[in-house]
Amino acid sequence: MAAAMARLGTESAFAVLARAEALRRAGHDIINLGIGAPDFRTPHHIVAAGQKALADGYHFYTPAKGLLDVREAVRDDVAMRRGVVVDVETIMLVPGGKPTMFFAIQMFGEPGAEIMYPNPGFPIYESMISYTGATPVPVELREDHAFGFDAERVLGQITDRTRLLIVNSPANPTGGVIDEPSLRQLAKGLADHPHVAILSDEIYSRVVYDGVLHASLLAHPELRDRLIMLDGWSKTYSMTGWRLGYGIWPAAFIDDAERLQINSNSCASAAVQVAGAAALRGPQDDVETMVEAFERRRQLIVDGLNSLPGVTCVMPGGAFYAFANITGTGIGSAEMEERLLTEAGVAVIAGTSFGAFGEGFLRLSYAAAPENIERAINRMAQLLS
Ligand code: PLP
């Protein structure tokens, strides 16, 4: 095998999911707070649109960038929510959120190049950067800054070799949200570094709390010629298994992104694209109901975690993860993940699965029924006492 394969990491949430399922099949009662998927059904009108599309004959290849009508739906949604009108020719539909990051990192990563990424952060960033042979440069996200963003510090880490800067807000695994003034400061500072492209992962753009509106880097026109924005349907419409996402690319990169798509996926599934347009154009009440439910569960889990001996947890501003500090328990992240699963029947993810700066933390997904969150906290209390 190619040496690069040894550098490819993984997303251990899938391994924990498999272990939790195996334990459940063996008769154990497992509460799963591991995987990052909403626990709601995809809204009915979206499912119906997908079924109808199949019945209507959407079972062929589409243009590599996606059906024009669906890209127009994305353009209109982006215009409404981010206040920016983009050219439909710069939008590419892909199977899920991941392909846009996969393509962006492949486009810029090679030996000698540096790519900056959030740590703790979504594990695929570091994995893919290493795979390309580029040097992963972690941007440490700190609990004492509510896992927010220090634009000056980030700008200070840029070197002549930096090719790509990855930004993720709202963030996995910390739930941190980057506010508009920090994004503005970053955009302003990047003017001094015209050689750096930016990947803004905004897959949780609709999952923000406390009445805050999502702030997008796309709203900064001075970055438009080097900003790739990633979003998708997985989290917003509870469509993780449908596999649909999109990238908005700078005009200068879109043809290369399209070639990567043609070399890999060809296109996103035709009927799924049609369902995706129905999601964007249809009623949004289900999204609001889901986010309101997450907001209530957020309070429940954060209060519960803060009541545990040796555990503290800051209030996340977005996404559906609590990132709990467990240093007071004297137990490391990986051991705690293992013991919670095997001794307490609670599946969570060790902070170290999201990078070295995740040591001392656990990620708990609160996209779970409130009674299961309460039961999980009780089991954790028992284990820790
Ligand atoms: N980006 C972040 C920050 C995520 O947390 C995830 C999924 O958990 C993705 C991208 C990938 O989303 P998808 O499942 O649509 O590929």
Ligand 1 centre and the CA of 236: distance in Å?
11
- In the predicted model, is pLDDT for residue 322 greater than 90? yes
Considering only CA atoms, which residue is closest to atom 13 of ligand 1?
A: 97
Ligand 1 atom at shortest distance from the alpha carbon of 168: 3
pLDDT of res. 2: 97
Q: How many CB atoms lie within 10 A of CB 312?
A: 14
Considering only CA atoms, which residue is closest to atom 7 of ligand 1?
A: 36
Ligand 1 atom at shortest distance from the alpha carbon of 173: 5
Is the pTM higher than 0.95? The answer reads yes
pLDDT by residue (tens digit) across 89-135?
999 999 999 999 999 999 999 999 999 999 999 999 999 999 999 99
pLDDT of res. 117: 98
Checking 283-288 for CB contacts under 8 A at 24+ apart, the result is: 283/43, 283/45, 286/40, 286/43, 286/237, 287/206, 287/236, 287/237
Ligand 1 centre and the CA of 272: distance in Å?
17
Considering only CA atoms, which residue is closest to atom 12 of ligand 1?
A: 97
Question: What dihedral angle (degrees, nearest 10) is formed by the CA atoms of 277, 282, 287, 289?
Answer: -160
- Asked if 216 contacts 227 with a C-beta cutoff of 8 angstroms, the reply is no
Ligand 1 centre and the CA of 34: distance in Å?
14
pLDDT by residue (tens digit) across 70-92?
999 999 999 999 999 999 999 99
Report residues whose beta carbon is within 6 angstroms of any ligand 1 atom. Answer: 36, 96-98, 122, 168, 172, 201, 203, 232, 234, 240, 245
pLDDT by residue (tens digit) across 20-40?
999 999 999 999 999 888 889
Q: What are phi and psi of 363, to 5 degrees?
A: -100, 125
- Any alpha helices (H) in 28-109, and if so which ranges? 44-55, 68-82, 98-108
- In the predicted model, is pLDDT for residue 3 greater than 90? yes
Token digits for 315?
């209030």
pLDDT bin (cut points 50, 70, 90) of residue 273 is: very high
Choosing from 105, 128, 172 the residue with most ligand 1 atoms within 8 A of its CB, the one to mutate for a pocket test is: 172
Ligand 1 centre and the CA of 255: distance in Å?
23
Q: What are phi and psi of 362, to 5 degrees?
A: -130, 140
Ligand 1 atom at shortest distance from the alpha carbon of 234: 15
Cα–Cα distance measured from residue 231 to residue 261, given in angstroms and rounded to the nearest whole number: 16
pLDDT of res. 15: 87
Ligand 1 atom at shortest distance from the alpha carbon of 240: 14
In this prediction, residues 229-250 reach a mean pLDDT of 98
Ligand 1 centre and the CA of 97: distance in Å?
5
% residues pLDDT > 90 (the chain): 95
Q: Which residues of 81-92 are buried (b: 16+ CB within 10 A; e: fewer)?
A: bbebebebebbb
Q: What angle do CA 83, 40, 240 make, to 5 degrees?
A: 65
pLDDT of res. 347: 96
- Asked if 207 contacts 60 with a C-beta cutoff of 8 angstroms, the reply is no
C-alpha to C-alpha distances, 53 to 64, 265, 283, 286, nearest whole angstrom = 18, 20, 19, 21
- In the predicted model, is pLDDT for residue 14 greater than 90? no
- Asked if 324 contacts 313 with a C-beta cutoff of 8 angstroms, the reply is yes
